[in-house]
Chains A and B, each alone.
Chain A
Amino acid sequence: MSESIHIHPGSVGHEVAHDDHHHGHHEQSFITKYIFSQDHKTIGKQFLITGIIWAIIGGLFSVLFRLQLGFPGQSFPILETFFGHWAKGGTIQPEFYYALVTMHGTVLVFFVLTAGLSGTFANLLIPLQVGARDMASPFMNMLSYWFFFLASIVMISSMFIQTGPAAGGWTVYPPLSALGQASDGSKLGMDLWIVAMALFVVSSLLGGLNYIATILNMRTKGMSMTRLPLTIWALFFTAILGVLSFPVLLSGLILLLFDRNLGTSFYLSDIVVAGEVLPNEGGSAILFQHLFWFLGHPEVYIILLPAMGMVSEILSVNSRKPIFGYMAMLGSLFAIAILAFLVWAHHMFVTGLNPFLGSVFVLLTLLIAVPSAIKVFNWLTTLWRGNIRLFPSTLFAIGFVSLFISGGLTGIFLGNSTIDIHLHDTMFVVAHFHIVMGVASMFGMFAGIYHWFPKMFGRYLNSTLGYVHFWVTMIGAYLIFWPMHYEGLAGMPRRYLDKAIWKSFNQFGDLDKMITVVSIIVFAVQLMFVFNFFYSIFKGRKVTSTNPWGANTLEWTTPINPGHGNWEGEIPEVHRWAYDYGKDGREFIPQTEPVGANESKH
């Protein structure tokens, strides 16, 4: 294999050439090939499989607390068998409930939808779609995964300590998260949470810098920035958001660590907790919220943008039409990325924020709806007059657009501070962000997995299971989250584990039951997907052609099971954008094909 590798002059640096050379000549041991691998494809799979394991854990947590919400007070003896004093008498104890919701949020937001999503697809797709043999620094890339792994270990271990994991919500607002006296979850569990997140930030930075460097410097000949597939643009903006915002979270968390352990007063002031008067004065609890949401809001787009990119690609490939308005799509990605940094205080409208400042954030927040609307209309126009092949990947992409519309529109309610006064921190918010950020991004991720599974493993996922997976998840997602908006309109606050003592919020008992039952079914179907995933890696139907979907992008010019270095011969040269589908009567024209003399212009 190595004899045939020639590095294209000017497109790939010396280091990578050396790397290929090295790997080509020596048989790799199991450890260097599958564990401490520097091959971006393997690292992508590592992120994916770790993300899947995390998703099972995080999803299971949601099933557990949904049991409490749907059947408050009812005893499930099996819970006591597994969780002991956390579920005394088979009912979930409040401490356990809050630990579950906190871990569900942390795990899904960071470990699944950040690392699992952009970790997987940035690693897999960036070198393959820009035409590079690997990342700019394969070694840093490997470190990125292993820091993520370490973060995972620390986070998991925090669940097994006596006082339990962090339990103050995934946003870990101090003083609750700073004072062990205020909550068991704010004892050792919170320190471990901070350490895990610090490791996570390191992982994210190592990865992100690599993605940016690779996209900017290692594109193959002819691959100008405006010929990049939208997936790459989305992953590029995602990486930039991460690199600029994660350090702010880290700094906020370090100050929190100081407040917890060194007696500083960054966030603490005038506190009497459990009868004890604390000496701290002059801190501001709100400061943490500013630091947190300066990451927290871009984080939403860190989760969403890769899904948007992949959906654009998949919809275009499978409707056999170019993505409509490539430059507008690009511009709206750019606008979203910029605005993502300018809207964080819309999470803080009712913290006593200066009303004038609040109104500025209303304006900037609702401004995001414009690029979002452009994207939706462009996706619709991409489908219009296409010739749509409804693979599981296409269905999930269509599902993504549907959920993005539904969840995006409720964002217009919450982004408007006037309405937010009533809806803030109610179940309406839960419904909104689960649809637009949680489920929608998950759909983007599923679409990506179904679409690129053949590239990852050289086999197909079983598509019948894929269809069942899609339909149950799609219907389930709406059944779970659509009616939840009404609970929020009634003012029902988030994170209430039992509404029996309330006169204003106890009218939704049947609804909560229905939601719980549906969420158990949806979770079971996700396990079926996981089974399909692992089964198909080993037993799935084999891919027989290099380009099974008839797609234009470069990853489909590699061998079915590409080795380290991706292309056996030279890296192909690119002559056109990625979206020449249905042009001049031809179904698709790969990016590698030179522009013909008589070809029409677009």
Chain B
Amino acid sequence: MQTLFIVAILALGFLITFQIAKASEYVAVLRGEERARKQSNKVNAFMLLAFLIVGLIGVYYCNEKLKGKILGDPASDHGVLIDRMLYITLAITFIVFVITQIGLFWFSYKYQYSENRKAYYYPHNNKLELIWTVIPAITLTVLVGFGIFYWYKITGEAPKNAMQVEVVGSQFKWEFRYPGKDGIIGKKYYKNISGDNPLGQIWDDAANQDDIYVTGEPMHLVVNKPVKLIIGAKDVIHDVGLPHFRMKMDAVPGTPTTMWFTPTKTTAQMKKETNNPDFVYEISCDQMCGKGHWSMRGEIVVETQEEYDAWMAQQKPKYYAVFPDKDPSSKPKADTAAKAAVAVAGSY
């Protein structure tokens, strides 16, 4: 019903506009086309000027209204560089934007058709053209210089003390793996992937036997400690998007990628800063990956080293879940459980 109503209104509006347009054409023919043309020329010239003024106010208004809704200060060291580059670029482009748009609309208004004006024959001026070739070239050199400087900093080698976390995307979830005590992420082969070996770890590789596998809960990171993410995908291309850290890297099946950064604010700190008790760092999938792309969400918790250690202490290597008999901690536990059972039985 509502839809029909909207369609009806549109149709009516359309009909009216068309009738007016038709009538104005007849009137123009009757009154003399030249006069009608001059009049519409004036109206449109005025509209162009109005568009410029209202448009610039609109740009300001839009910024006032929306600037609070973008993400606030970056939460990583690289994020600071990226934001700085962004604001340098914004400053320069905004100046160019204002000057050229004012020029465009002002000239269109100022030099609107008039019988008394003769257009100025001005086919070229080499000096002017040289100026506006050289100035943009210099400006862009500056932007390229800054850009590449930061780019190498961000994409360079991760520091030696960086912790490593593997991130694996698949339709439509994220899985994480920590290297365990040995600090080495074990080898894997995709054909090993099965129900109880979701990443395809090669169990013969000793480095795998202490690796911690985590899914369905947040990735844990330590504040002010560089982290190197080793990124992969199982089925199609995904992308690890970390908007608060300003970082992003594709997850490509068959071609592992990496990215590193240092989180500088704990989740608790961000909750306070943003005045938002529900604040979480989110992982978004930024590369179209199928019908659930929009819901491929992960979380990150940034915490202190102690909190991290406490969390890590509760985690068990995947290896022991697959081979429970190899788990050193499970045996004594099983013994106590058996003893307890006996004790319970004995009390009867």
Contacts from A to B (Cβ < 8 Å)? 76-78, 94-95, 98, 167-169, 173, 175-176, 179, 182-184, 268-274, 277, 281-286, 319-328, 350-352, 355, 358-359, 362-363, 366-367, 369-370, 373-374, 376-381, 383-390, 395, 398, 401-402, 405-406, 409-410, 412-413, 416-419, 421-422, 424-426, 462-465, 467-468, 471, 474-475, 478, 482-483, 486, 489-499, 501-505, 507-508, 511, 520, 524, 527-528, 531-532, 541, 579, 581-585, 602
Q: Smallest CB-CB separation from B290: which chain A residue?
A: A183
Q: Is the CB of B25 within 8 A of A541?
A: yes
- How far, in Å, is A71 (CB) from chain B's closest CB? 11
Q: Is the CB of B241 within 8 A of A285?
A: no
Q: Is the CB of B111 within 8 A of A387?
A: yes
Q: Is the CB of B124 within 8 A of A324?
A: yes
Q: Is the CB of B119 within 8 A of A387?
A: yes
Could you say which of B135-143, B202-210, B333-341 contacts chain A?
Answer: B135-143
Q: Smallest CB-CB separation from A269: which chain B residue?
A: B254
Q: Is the CB of B284 within 8 A of A413?
A: no
Q: Is the CB of A76 within 8 A of B3?
A: yes
- Given known contacts A98-B291, A468-B17, A528-B14, is B237 in contact with A319 (CB within 8 Å)? no
Q: Is the CB of B243 within 8 A of A417?
A: no
Q: Which residues of B contact A179 (CB under 8 A)?
A: 235-236
B3, B55, B67: which contacts A478 (Cβ < 8 A)? B55
Q: Smallest CB-CB separation from A351: which chain B residue?
A: B250
Q: Which residues of B contact A498 (CB under 8 A)?
A: 294-295
Q: Which residues of A contact B236 (CB under 8 A)?
A: 173, 175-176, 179, 182, 273
Q: Is the CB of B155 within 8 A of A358?
A: yes
Q: Is the CB of A503 within 8 A of B257?
A: no
- Given known contacts A370-B140, A462-B25, A491-B71, is B66 in contact with A483 (CB within 8 Å)? yes
A175, A419, A583: which contacts B237 (Cβ < 8 A)? A175
A78, A182, A377: which contacts B171 (Cβ < 8 A)? A182
Q: Which residues of A contact B285 (CB under 8 A)?
A: 493
A492, A502, A531: which contacts B18 (Cβ < 8 A)? A531
Q: Smallest CB-CB separation from A425: which chain B residue?
A: B286
B51, B132, B239, B293: which contacts A496 (Cβ < 8 A)? B293
Q: How far is the CA of A104 from the CA of B200 in the complex (A)?
A: 38
User: Is B246's CB within 8 Å of the partner chain A?
Assistant: yes
B4, B47, B279: which contacts A503 (Cβ < 8 A)? B279
Q: Which residues of A contact B190 (CB under 8 A)?
A: 270-272, 277
Q: How far is the CA of A508 from the CA of B65 in the complex (A)?
A: 11
Q: Which residues of A contact B167 (CB under 8 A)?
A: none
Q: Which residues of A contact B301 (CB under 8 A)?
A: none
Contacts from B to A (Cβ < 8 Å)? 3-4, 6, 10, 13-14, 17-18, 20-22, 24-25, 29, 37, 40-41, 44-45, 47-48, 51, 55, 58-59, 62, 66-67, 69-71, 78-79, 81-82, 85-86, 89-90, 92-93, 96-97, 100-101, 103-105, 107-108, 111-114, 117-125, 128-129, 132-133, 136-137, 140, 143-144, 146-148, 150-152, 154-156, 170-171, 190-191, 193, 200, 234-237, 239, 241, 243-244, 246-250, 252-255, 257-258, 278-280, 282, 284-295, 297
- Across the A-B interface, give the 7 residue pairs with the lowest CB-CB distance, nearest first: A491-B243, A269-B254, A352-B257, A582-B119, A464-B21, A355-B155, A385-B120
Additional 20 contacts, C-beta under 8 A, given A355-B152, A388-B45, A467-B44: A167-B291, A173-B236, A355-B156, A363-B148, A377-B100, A388-B111, A398-B105, A419-B147, A422-B79, A422-B247, A475-B51, A478-B55, A478-B58, A489-B71, A490-B70, A490-B243, A493-B284, A494-B286, A498-B294, A508-B69
Q: How far is the CA of A493 from the CA of B287 in the complex (A)?
A: 8
Q: Is the CB of A528 within 8 A of B17?
A: yes
- How far, in Å, is A431 (CB) from chain B's closest CB? 12
B105, B125, B128, B252: which contacts A351 (Cβ < 8 A)? B252
Main secondary structure of the interface of B (DSSP, over half): helix
Q: Smallest CB-CB separation from B55: which chain A residue?
A: A478
Q: Which residues of A contact B156 (CB under 8 A)?
A: 355
A183, A390, A417, A421: which contacts B291 (Cβ < 8 A)? A183
Q: Is the CB of A422 within 8 A of B147?
A: no
- Given known contacts A352-B257, A418-B147, A531-B18, is B155 in contact with A602 (CB within 8 Å)? no
Q: Which residues of A contact B103 (CB under 8 A)?
A: 380
Q: Smallest CB-CB separation from A376: which chain B residue?
A: B100
Q: How far is the CA of A422 from the CA of B287 in the complex (A)?
A: 13
A175, A184, A286, A406: which contacts B97 (Cβ < 8 A)? A406
Q: Is the CB of B151 within 8 A of A355?
A: yes
- How far, in Å, is A306 (CB) from chain B's closest CB? 21
Q: How far is the CA of A482 from the CA of B54 in the complex (A)?
A: 14
Q: How far is the CA of A327 from the CA of B68 in the complex (A)?
A: 46
Q: Smallest CB-CB separation from B11: which chain A residue?
A: A524
Q: Is the CB of B151 within 8 A of A417?
A: yes
The 29 sampled A-B contact pairs (Cβ below 8 Å) are A182-B171, A268-B254, A270-B254, A281-B254, A319-B111, A321-B122, A324-B123, A327-B124, A352-B249, A355-B156, A363-B144, A369-B140, A374-B133, A377-B100, A387-B111, A389-B113, A390-B41, A390-B112, A395-B44, A405-B101, A413-B90, A416-B144, A418-B85, A418-B154, A421-B246, A528-B14, A579-B123, A581-B119, A582-B120
- How far, in Å, is A133 (CB) from chain B's closest CB? 31
- How far, in Å, is B131 (CB) from chain A's closest CB? 9
A94, A369, A468, A478: which contacts B292 (Cβ < 8 A)? A94
Q: How far is the CA of A45 from the CA of B123 in the complex (A)?
A: 33
Q: Which residues of B contact A398 (CB under 8 A)?
A: 48, 104-105, 108
- Given known contacts A277-B190, A285-B254, A418-B147, is B113 in contact with A390 (CB within 8 Å)? yes
Q: Is the CB of A464 within 8 A of B288?
A: no
